[in-house]
Amino acid sequence: MIYLDHFSTTPCDPAVVKAMLPWFGEDFGNPHSLHGPGRKAAQAVERARESVARLIGAEAREIVFTSGATEANNLAIKGAARHLARLGDPRRRIITVATEHKCVLESVRALASEGFEAVVLGVDADGRVDPEALRKALEVPTLLVSIMAANNETGVLQDIPQLAGIVKAAGALMHVDLAQMAGKIPVSLKDVDLASVSAHKMYGPKGIGALYVRRRPRVRLEPLFSGGGQERGFRSGTLPTPLVVGFGVAAELAAVSMAEEAVRQAVLRDDLWAQLQGGLPGIVLNGRTVPRLAGALNVCLPEGLRALDVLEACPDVAASTGSACTAAEIAPSYVLTAMGLSAQKASQCLRLSVGRSTSKADIDRAAGLLIAAARTCQTN
């Protein structure tokens, strides 16, 4: 099996697994207990917190551990809006983008049912937000803006520094979903108030993520649920020490290999695209004219081919047609339709993503298999 679905999830790095193992059995103390085993676990948690903070250019005390980016996104959006509303803030507008992750869009829609005004901005044909459209939307006093840094289907990068500057000038809070970007390219938190990160997108374990909560000027949040007040009162519950430790090691490894991997993966991605172009006339690259993550390749197959049919005819290549969070739905990608593709065109699109373990041999074999599968589907 050739794995080309690294935007869905990444395998745990062996060093991450090795670092986690002792904390499942040998060092099993609760990090919130005051005895020796508890203090040892707490120290490991704080080391990991520092590693995650360094990766994104934050202070350790600004990192709140969660169960993943979905929880972090929910906490950032709902938590900030509800807290400010409880304090009597009259602003009700929440702005996001049509190509955001489902958990962001659904969080904003949930707030609409609580009396907030949900504004969902469109994107251009490459999936980018128009800064002027954002500026126009911010003419109405706004509480919070949530924009994804790197799209989870196309890899297209938003100009977060520019957009965050516009948001700051308008006096709103800025939340950024960094799940796909963190650990792959350098991150800037300038003018960003809240940012979500996920471990399993950077070769760490599933079930752990983090929310950056800016300390100065201080951002406050309403917790999503009640409990013992762990994580500075933002996120109650016993921290899973093994997962936190694994997250920390994954962040350290990403920081070391980021630059080299970006170059290597871009070369492999471009090689795969060149081979697919040569073997399948009429294939189109989505988001081709704007910056993308190095491993990202979202393609629209030639007319008459459905992506699902090609994947079924090519069982030795693990790829997808869109976000894994919506893979159970037999519907075209809402990200691609927001970019202007028809439902039919969107159903012809494949999401391929290169990762650390991908080799030149993998690219050559995957290209050959995908081209052969597509040709078989064309003749059937």
Q: Which residue numbers are catalytic?
A: 325
351 SS3 class: strand
d(CA 247, CA 364): 32
Tell me the β-bridge partners of 177. 148, 196
Q: Which residues pair with 213 in a beta bridge?
A: 194
Joined together, the tokens standing for residue 320 give: 């997808």
Token pair listed for 107: 């969080």
Token pair for 25: 């059995």
> What are the DSSP calls for 104-157, one per residue?
HHHHHHHHHTTT-EEEEE---TTSPPPHHHHHHHTTS-EEEEEEESB-TTT-BB
Q: Which of 257, 261, 277, 279 is nearest to 353 (CA)?
A: 261
* Chain CA centroid to CA 9, Å: 10
Give CA–CA dist 81/297, Å, rounded: 35
From the number of C-beta atoms within 10 Å of its C-beta (0-12, 13-18, 19+), residue 169 rates as exposed
